[in-house]
Structures are given as C-alpha cells and as structure tokens.
Amino acid sequence: MTEFNPSNIIVTGGAGFIGSNFAHWVADNKPGVHVTVLDALTYAGNRENLDGIPEGRMTFVHGDICDADLVDRLFSEADACVHFAAESHNDNSIADPAPFVRTNVEGTFTLLEAARRHGTRFHHISTDEVYGDLALDDPARFTKAASDLLVRAWHRTYGVAATISNCSNNYGPRQHVEKFIPRQITNVLSGIRPKLYGDGLNVRDWIHTEDHSSAVWAILERGRIGETYLIGADGERNNIDVLRAILEEMGQGPDDFDWVRDRPGHDRRYAIDSTKLRRELGWRPARTDFAEGLRDTIAWYRDNPGWWQGAKEATEAKYAAQGQ
Ligand code: NAD
Ligand code: TDX
C-alpha cells in the first residue's frame, strides 16, 4: 500500500466543531503538515476554536466554499482537501432547508470541480445519518446524501482521487450548544432543566471527536481511492441513558429534566460497523471510556463559559419557539 503524505491541506469548516478538533489534532500529531482552514464563520463557526495552533502551522481564510474563484486559488496551492464544512443541525434543516442545499450540495460541487482541475486529493466527511432507516425525509440527511453521491460521481467520471467517511455522532469540546450533549450540559450550568425529545429511547452511536480525527487521517494517508469507510467506536446508547449520565456527573437527580415535543421524523437509531476501517487500515479508537470522555467534556464547558454563553440564549429562544 502506498502512503499519501500531504504537506499542505485545506480543511473546510475548520472553525466548526469537528473541523477545529481535526485542525488541532493535525497540529499536535503531524509536525510537517500545514493546514489552511477555509470557513465562512456562520453561526456555527468560531475563529477562537483555532486558538492555540502555532503560527506558521495554520492559515485561516474567511470565505465561502461556494466561492469558485477563492476555492480555485486555494486548491492551486494545496495537495489535499478534507471537507468538513456543512450545515450540520437536523432541527435547523427542518425549519429552513435552503442553506443546507447551498452549502452541502453546491459547496461540495464547487470543491470537487477545483479538485478535478488541480488533481487534488479529496476527503469528504459525511455522516451515518445518510444510512437512516427511513426514507430521505429530512433535508439535512438528503443534502448530505446528495453530496456523497456527487463525490462518487466525480471520482468515477473524472477520476478525482476521493475518499468518503461516514461517522457516527461525535462529542467533545467546542460542539455548538444546539447539539444534544452540549445543550444539556450548558442547560444544567445555566440553571435550565435539560430537554429530552420524544420517549428518550432513540439510539445514537457516540464517538469522541479525537477518534474521528485519527480515523480521518488514517483514511487520507492509507485509504483506497474511491472507497467509503464507516467510522464508529461501538458507542451505542439511548438518549435517556446519556442524559442521566450527564445529570449524575453534574450532581443532579435522574429525573431533573423535561420531556419536550419530539423532532418530526426523528430517526430511531444510528449505528456504525467500522470493521472495514479497522481491518484495512488498522485504525482503533483510543477514547472508548464514555464516562471519562463525558467528564472531560463537562469540565471543558464548565471552564469555558465565555465560549458558549453568547450563543446559548439565542439557541434556547429558537428551541422554545419550536416547543423544544
Ligand atoms: P458544525 O456545524 O459545528 O461546523 C460547520 C462549519 O462549517 C462551521 O465552522 C461553519 O462556519 C462552516 N461552514 C458552513 N457553511 C459554510 C460555507 N458555505 N463555506 C465555508 N464554511 C462553511 O458542524 P460539525 O458538527 O463540526 O460537522 C462537520 C461535518 O461532520 C459535517 O459535514 C457533518 O455532516 C459531519 N458529521 C457530523 C457529526 C456530528 O455528530 N456532529 C457526525 C458525523 C459527521
Ligand atoms: O435537546 C435535545 N434533546 C434531545 O432529546 C436535542 C438537541 C437532541 N435530542 C435528541 C435528538 C437525537 O436523537 O438527541 C439525539 C442527538 O441529537 P443531535 O445532537 O441533534 O444529533 P443528531 O440529530 O443525531 O445528528 C448528529 O449526527 C448526525 C449530528 O448533529 C449531525 O451533523 C450528523 O449528521
């Protein structure tokens, strides 16, 4: 197997949750690699997420992945692109799907065209939800699935050196307070009762974001071109168990939460079989102790109130208007 050793990679969406964790992971683990973050700084992006990455290891470019001229210029100087930029939140996609179509579909198309022109190695970050057990009935899932298909077509038709990974639910530091785990942690820290959708029995397969980063690197370096790899760490848990673990860790009672209106079309269960990734590339998750990962995540939100307090009020107002 020939290894691909990039020295200058573009990380789209690198000011968001998973992209910023990946940029830090590269800075910490791959000394010879320079990262160019391309991020539009939407409500979900935060320049501070990249603080601490040494100068000289990273360049930040504030821009849109749909900007073909900008993308073309960046691709002319890079040897790989890892594509995290997306509209990522299901509840938002139900309220307003337009930005999802634009960023997830048109944005991915714009990047693929640049990869085709410049022969750039391309890794597309996708999600387990594209394999949801229902029809493609919510816009977040639909637009991510559409972007996966574009990547496959650009590989098969134009020979773009692309790989895809579909990962399970991530958790860890710097995740937006709209998402399940940070929402509940910051609710408790703000004196708001946590909110559980539906019957609380929906299952998600949790992976620490550091393990997602190491898996993406393994695929970029050693993955077979044209292949799709599933990333997961055997972390299936239902929502009420996760919530009760948070409550216990934060000194609350097991019933100190509110039941709220369910998400329309709420997927019952996501689960990932990562055997192919483990067998072919020898990848193993390192942060498999969920209780410990949760403790560290709670500590991060407790220690960084300035990071999340600004977004908290607006997020809760939006949820309240939806009865959630
Ligand atoms: P996020 O919402 O935290 O971050 C998305 C980032 O993309 C933000 O920094 C935002 O500013 C940027 N962005 C959005 N539109 C852009 C545009 N048009 N141009 C440039 N930048 C733009 O998302 P996340 O949770 O970090 O997810 C990242 C990727 O991982 C997504 O593709 C998502 O589908 C995928 N994924 C997420 C999970 C999860 O559990 N969160 C699981 C599997 C896969
Ligand atoms: O307040 C809440 N209460 C609640 O019960 C919130 C915000 C969520 N939930 C439930 C809904 C889900 O069953 O928790 C579960 C997790 O919800 P989210 O954090 O919104 O994640 P999910 O919908 O599973 O989507 C995630 O995985 C697939 C990512 O956010 C997506 O980007 C990824 O594509």
> How many other β-carbons are positioned within 10 Å of the β-carbon of residue 98?
10
Nearest residue (by CA) to ligand 1, atom 29, is: 84
CB 104 near ligand 2, within 6 Å? no
Global confidence as pTM: 0.97
3-state DSSP of 198-209: CCCCCEEEEEEH
Of 12, 17, 100, best ligand 1 pocket probe by most atoms within 8 Å of the beta carbon: 17
pLDDT (0 to 100) of residue 134? 47
Nearest to 324 by CA among 189, 181, 204, 194: 194
Ligand nearest to the CA of 63: 1
256 pLDDT higher than 90: yes
| Tens of pLDDT, residues 58-93 | 999 999 999 999 999 999 999 999 999 999 998 898
Q: What is the mean pLDDT of residues 146-152?
A: 97
Pairing of strands 195-197, 228-231: unpaired
Q: How far apart (Å, rounded) are the C-alpha atoms in residues 17 and 178?
A: 12
> How many other β-carbons are positioned within 10 Å of the β-carbon of residue 62?
13
Nearest atom in ligand 1 to 43's CA: 11
DSSP per-residue string spanning 59-85 = EEEE--TT-HHHHHHHHTT-SEEEE--
| Tens of pLDDT, residues 21-53 | 999 999 999 999 999 999 999 999 999 999 999
Of 92, 94, 180, best ligand 2 pocket probe by most atoms within 8 Å of the beta carbon: 180
Residue list, ligand 1 pocket, CB within 6 Å: 12-13, 15-19, 39-42, 44-45, 64-66, 84-86, 88, 103, 107, 125, 127, 144, 167, 169-170, 176
133 pLDDT higher than 70: no
142 pLDDT higher than 60: yes
pLDDT (0 to 100) of residue 135? 47
Domains for the chain: give ranges and CATH numbers. Answer: 8-174+206-235+266-288 (3.40.50.720)
Nearest residue (by CA) to ligand 1, atom 19, is: 64
132 pLDDT higher than 80: no
Q: Where are the beta strands (DSSP E) in the chain?
A: 8-12, 34-39, 58-62, 80-83, 121-127, 162-167, 169-171, 195-197, 203-208, 228-231, 236-238, 258-260
To which residue do tokens 């000011």 refer? Answer: 15
Nearest to 293 by CA among 199, 185, 165: 185
